[in-house]
Chain A
Amino acid sequence: MNNLRGVYTIWYRDMLRFWHDKMRMVGSVTFPLLFLFVFGSGLSARMGFLGPGIDFTQFMFPGIIGMTVLMSSFMAGVSVVWDREFGFLKEVLVAPISRASVAVGKTLGAATVALLQGIIILLFAPLIGVSLSVWTVLMLLPLMFLLSASMGSLGILLATRIRSMEAFQAVMQMLMFPMVFLSGVFFPLQGLPAWMNILVKINPATYGIAPIRQVMLGTLPDSPFAINLLGHTMSLWDNVTVLAAFGTIMILLAMWSFSSQE
């Protein structure tokens, strides 16, 4: 009960801060939308169809949604570094709530904000020519949430160990952009050079982007966008399992790391 209250309070504060900072919402969806419309429009005509009736913009669209929630939730870790720098973290650390619940609350806060941003991008589906049924959307939301909670935990985990804002930003650039570029957001993951194929397969984000695309563009197992891992074609549930396993490890590490800091 005590722990639930801690999780809720930390999450609630993130929501309050987010509400105070509505410009952040506009800023954070601008970048993905630029990618979607500028790259998409620029390259679609030249690239033709990447799958049955699917042009480049439509192919990218689920990837861009994944990228939006991934980047937003990952970067939310910066708020922990920020709180440390401005002293507020101390107020949280001496409070009679467990540190583990603080980590969970932070992760849920990051995931909620990321999910909202993902939903904003999702609203552009009709402009891209992607049709979404209610059922598809209901499938997509938990997938987006799982991806953002996993990446949010990773961001929080890093933030508990990194003391300066500059270092955190540097680590983020070193981790986040490779994760985004090597996850199949921008191109199909078949026929890649061997070195790249390895990096793509060990990248946890790959297993977050793939199921979103599978649900949005059709879940056929022989789809040209399916991922082949060690000779096995990954189904929707295979991908979700890998991502969930990664997310579970990350949240446990984040909880442990938060508890063990002084």
Chain B
Amino acid sequence: MTDYVVRVENLVKRFGGLVAVDGISFSVARGEIFGLLGPNGAGKTTTINMLCTLTKPTSGRAIIAGFDVVREQSQVRQSIGLVFQDPSLDERLSGLQNLRFHGLVYNLPASVREPRIKEVLTMVELWDRRNSQVRTYSGGMKRRLELARGLLHCPKVLFLDEPTLGLDPQTRNRIWEYILELRQREDTTIFLTTHYMDESENADRIAIIDHGKLVAMDTPEGLKKLVGKDIISVKTDDDNRAADEIRSRYRIETRRDSDGLTFEVASGEEFLPTFIKEFGTKILSVSLRRPSLDDVFLKLTGREIRQEEVSNAFKAMVRQHGRRTRR
């Protein structure tokens, strides 16, 4: 029998009339990297908050390391480490003092605490800066310090809520190196949320959440098989005519996006040469690629995850602007 560290059964969270999380169930095995993927507002953070006892579920059950998140809060808290979406450090204290505080709160005796602090700080390459106040750290350093802090008490599960949000690509890669190294070194189960598709490729299993419901759960490879086929994007000087031509000639429906037309074929390498030779509409550019998680998401939800993000950001901007002018 598999040893499940996280078990979630029919978890629901309502805020007034809004159903943020709508009856999700899943299990995470020990040592697994489990990714919860979804657009902003899909219910990822609410789910994490319920699992780490910050928010009470409306109904359903969640068991972390054998403890119930409602009835055994204290034991759950002792068993988990957290890296939040927004920074949660005391900027006026040094990196070392932040970790000492954490060690005290999680009841690590000094004989364990001090060597462990050195170990985790060395791992995230902050040992040399341990005595500087956190407010002098860069964004990437703060995130690394939080990662070190989340690990300090050797949690059974490490929750990472958008661990690389707002970081530059280079720093994001470093963070991921630490996460993967960590899994090798310390048998920690990692539960992360992200809306970066490329990042979630690192996970052993991914659950896709949309409007509070799980729409798919599998390995990244398994999910890509849902799309199955190769994807061809083509730009022409008349996309309408091209779409009609593809429909009549190959019996394939195309999708319109900002860059032209996209459609799927079983084996792209063989299809493309004849397609280019035969096609009646003038082709400006054409590309072939294997399905990515972006395509999986698109197929399952009918939306692109990044489009969603942009339009949400835009809405937020408009809202904020509106608020400002009213003031």
A89 to B74, CA, bound (A): 17
Q: Is the CB of A94 within 8 A of B55?
A: no
| Cβ-defined contact, B104 with A9, below 8 A | yes
- Of the candidate stretches A14-22, A34-42, A196-204, the one touching chain B is A14-22
- Is there contact, CB below 8 Å, between B54 and A16? no
Please pick, from B75, B87, B89, B105, the residue contacting A95 in the complex, using a CB distance under 8 A. B105
What CA separation (Å) do A262 and B101 show in the bound complex?
A: 22
**B106 within 8 A of partner (CB):** yes
A16 touches B107 (CB 8 A): no
With a 10 A CB-CB cut-off, give which of B80, B91, B93, B101 has the most chain A CB atoms.
B101
Interface size on B, residues (CB 8 A): 29
Known A-B contacts A20-B92, A87-B87, A95-B77; the reply to A262 vs B105 at CB < 8 A is no
The chain A residue with its CB closest to the CB of B89 is: A88
Question: A90: which of B75, B84, B91 is its contact (CB, 8 Å)?
Answer: B84
Once the chains bind, are A6 and B93 in contact (CB under 8 Å)? no
Give A contacts to B, CB under 8 Å.
2, 5-6, 8-9, 12-13, 16-17, 20-21, 83, 86-98, 262
Q: Tell me which residues from 96 to 114 in chain B have a Cβ below 8 Å from any Cβ of chain A.
A: 97, 101-102, 104-107
Q: Which residues of B contact A87 (CB under 8 A)?
A: 84, 86-89
- List the 6 shortest-distance A-B pairs measured between CB atoms, nearest first: A87-B88, A96-B77, A96-B78, A95-B105, A9-B104, A90-B88
Q: Does B186 contact A (CB under 8 A)?
A: no
Q: Name 9 interchain pairs, CB-CB below 8 A, sorted by A.
A: A9-B105, A13-B93, A86-B88, A86-B90, A88-B90, A91-B102, A94-B52, A95-B77, A95-B106
Give Cα A262 to B52, complex, Å. Answer: 12
Give the shortest distance, in Å, between A94 (CB) and chain B (any CB).
6
B301 at the interface (CB under 8 A from A): no
Set of chain B residues within 8 Å of A94, measured between Cβ atoms: 52-54, 77, 80, 82
